[in-house]
Amino acid sequence: MPTLIERAEALRRIREEGGAPACLMCAVAARAVGEVHVVFEDDEMLAFLPRYVRCWGHVCVMPKVHVTSLREVSATVWGRTNALGHKAARVIETVARPRRCYLAATGSSAGELTQSSMHLHLHVIPVHDAEDRPASIFSWQEGVYVGAPDEWEALRATYVRAWRDDDARYGPA
- Residue closer to Zn ion, measured from CB, 67 or 124: 67
Cα–Cα distance between 20 and 24 in angstroms, integer? 8
Three-state SS letters, 112-138:
CCCCCCCCCCEEEEEECCCCCCHHHHC
Stretch touching Zn ion by CB under 5 A, among 6-14, 21-29, 45-53, 57-65: 21-29
Other C-beta atoms closer than 10 Å to the C-beta of 31 total: 11
18 binds Zn ion (CB under 5 A): no
119 binds Zn ion (CB under 5 A): yes
23 binds Zn ion (CB under 5 A): yes
90 binds Zn ion (CB under 5 A): no
Residues with Cβ within 8 Å of residue 155, at least 6 apart in sequence = 37, 49, 56, 57, 147
- Residue closer to Zn ion, measured from CB, 57 or 63: 63
37 binds Zn ion (CB under 5 A): no
Contact residues: Zn ion, CB under 5 A: 23, 25-26, 66, 119
